[in-house]
Amino acid sequence: MKIHTEYLWMNTHRRKELVHVTEQLQEILGRSGVTEGFMLVSAMHITSGVIVNDNEPGLHQDIMDWLEDLAPERPEYRHHMTGEDNGDAHLKRILVHHQAIIPITQGRLDLGPWERVFYAEFDGQRRKRVVVKVMGD
């Protein structure tokens, strides 16, 4: 079994943003030499996550609006008593989760016809990492 690890460095322009990373992941897969196995994509920060969904701007806005409805920005989070201002970002991360496992078949990410992978940032505009670990033969 081969195991290959790389990191994506993210620095979003906005505080909340979805970044399409599917092509970068396919490039990492190519460098790994793995043709059958799995790819783990995991955001390494507690205010960001990974989403697999359609690459359609209206849906992206719907996702962000839905997350804002469930975990709105507001000043009364207890977390803010520590001097932070990102309590909503932590909750949004829980809702989208921090990682995804993607199957690899015949040297390609085995995604559905409309599936794409996104880094989901909820407290951005600073440098953060995503670990990409490819495992297989």
What is the mean predicted confidence (pLDDT) over 38-57? Answer: 98
Could you report the per-residue pLDDT of 77-87, keeping only the tens digit for each? 999 999 999 99
Confidence tier at 8 by pLDDT (50, 70, 90): very high
Rounded CA gap, 66 and 48, in Å?
16
Give the model confidence (pLDDT) of 57-69 as tens digits.
Answer: 999 999 999 999 9
Distances (CA, A) of 31 to 7, 55, 80, 92, 122: 13, 24, 42, 32, 30
Taking the alpha carbons at both ends of the chain, their separation in whole angstroms is 5
pLDDT mean over 103-114: 98
Region 11-22: what's the mean pLDDT?
97
User: What value does the mean pLDDT take over residues 27-46?
Assistant: 98
* Separation of alpha carbons 17 and 131, rounded Å: 18
Map out the domains of the chain with their CATH numbers: 2-72+85-136 (2.60.120.460)
The pLDDT of residue 48 is 98
Write down the pTM of the prediction. 0.95
Residue 38, SS3 per DSSP: strand
